[in-house]
Structure 1
Amino acid sequence: MKLTLIGRKVEAPRVESFVFNPAEPVEWKAGQFIQCVLEHEPMDSRGEERWFTIASAPSEKKLMITTRFANENGSSFKTALHALQIGETIEMSDLDGEFVIEDQTQSYVFIAGGIGITPFYSILKEADHAGVKLNATLLYGNRDDGIAFQQELQGFAENNPNLIIHHIIAPQRIDERLIRKVVADIQKPLFYVSGPEPMVESLGEVLKGMGVADDHLKQDFFPGYS
């Protein structure tokens, strides 16, 4: 399916969102992802396909993807995406993902590393739109204070007293000590972890070591980020 670029926005240094109008209506759940195909020349060995979490809320009907651009040695795909002009198109070839909220009455701990904020942004924006007071704690780690969606997240928290957001800026890290400090009962909430693959795998092991059961842990990693 063709996706036509209708808008773009810088969210933080080297982080940009691209908003697309799909050729046909798309139904999805907040937290799911799509495969995008962008034909371009010259193309490097990393190819013309990428998976992106849909950062927009399903109620918006438009598809927004958000990505971080490297300072140097970026892929040809990212170069072509950055050069995309309003009115130009890419292809969407697949929709998938189980990193979604099934029970709105459950309590959650969301752990995001950098661009891994995108599924949580979609989830929280959809909840805000629907007036759902999701019981959630968000731990959002970044390399510096260039924080994507910072104002929007603050607005969600202002509308929902059950949403608590902690910003963790390097050199501070999201680790067992911090998690125990902000989560009173480790056994109760469902933990969702999203971000670069090494971070997601590492924190998954940390949480399991803390006693978090497999059915209380969901992980969503972003290949190619570190």
Structure 2
Amino acid sequence: MSALKMPPGPLSPFSAPLNGFDSQPLSFSDYGVDELFTLSFGASQDNRDNALQPTSGSLVRFGAEQTIPVGTGNIMMTRLRGSYSYYIPVNWLDLTGFGLVESTQPQTVAFNVQAGTVLGDLPPYEAFILGGSNSVRGYQEGELGNGRSFFQATAEYRFPIIAAVGGALFVDYGSNLGSQGAVPGFPAIVRGLPGSGVGYGLGVRIQSPVGPIRIDLGFTGEGESRINFGIGEKF
């Protein structure tokens, strides 16, 4: 059995030095503890034909979060985020000849763009994270970068394979729009993360009572690959 041994004394609000860089702040306050009181607002317009497996229509979402400066953190932060998805029914492949797929099972081309920014104070742990199953696939969570702002886009072709299994071809793009230097402590710069990149690949969707189980094999622009898992479609 192993245990994590901590040095004596109070916890520091700074990380240990990394790759020759000085210690990086882990909190916004100098005390190592932030207190956040947040008000959230969201609005959406949903014109999709199916919420779990859409094949046509569109979905627009907007969200805003506002922190109230109370407690030790005294943080005044506004987070804005928007997303637009569009779905087009297509019939590009004739899969009925194999006898495994009915002609009525849909094929779909799906597009999504989203962006966000943080105004005011920015604790390092509140920065936008890029990479992972719900971001740019082929990268692990946060491996592409982080930033005060971000932009992300995806195109995906979804098609049936057999009755309970579907497939997908996809390409993702994400960027922190050069805002990694606006995150306190510069964590993405310290870790040498690229800040923007492309992921592409293919995946399967297995139907379950909780929605499609998503398994994607993604490749990065640098030629690396990774399997990403998720529940439900990415968008």
**TM-score higher than 0.5 here?**
no
Which structure dedicates a bigger proportion of its chain to strand?
A: 2
Give TM-score scaled by structure 1 length: 0.25
Give TM-score scaled by structure 2 length: 0.25
